[in-house]
Amino acid sequence: MKLTRRETIVLGFGTAITAMLPLAAGAAPEDKIKEFTGGAETVSEGLTLTAPEIAENGNTVPIEVSAPGAEAILVLAPGNPNPDVGTFRFGPLAGSQTASTRIRLAETQELVAIAKLSDGSFARATKEVKVTIGGCGG
């Protein structure tokens, strides 16, 4: 991976490396989760996944994941033709373990995020995001 000057500076300050590392395509979401957790149990505490309840534009949906102390956070969109969104990895000097980006959603679905916490345990969060035709409120 080639680092630009700006990214290098960001690294110097110990901020999260939010470069998206695409996962191997094609595997089912549950397999991806197993691959990430090694089959370990997940708990519901420790990870926040923020996304709108209804997408204003399915082509660019803002999401944020946050897990204090996490080493990495996996994000999946199981309803997409390719469910892999990416994995955010946080270095030991990261000031916070929060990342936000915009993703494309093909249809209404439940987003899944899994965080690997510093003690080696895993946290899971989900959020239903509706992708709608709209047009009749009022």
Q: Which tokens go with 61?
A: 């949906």
Size of the site for another protein (CB under 8 A): 17
**Residue 110: CB partners within 8 Å, gap ≥ 6?**
78, 79, 126, 127, 128, 129
| Of the residues 42, 50, 101, 126, which one makes contact with another protein according to CB under 8 A | 50
Span near another protein by CB under 8 A; candidates 7-15, 20-28, 33-41, 48-56: 48-56
The answer to whether 122 touches 43, Cβ cutoff 8 Å, is: yes
CA distance 3 to 5: 6
Q: Which is nearer to another protein, 23 or 49 (CB)?
A: 49
Q: What is the largest CA-CA distance in the chain?
A: 50
Residue 57 interacting with another protein (CB under 8 A): yes
Residue 53 interacting with another protein (CB under 8 A): yes
Residue 108 interacting with another protein (CB under 8 A): yes
Which residues here bind another protein, judged by CB under 8 A? Answer: 50, 52-54, 56-57, 62, 108, 128, 130, 132-138
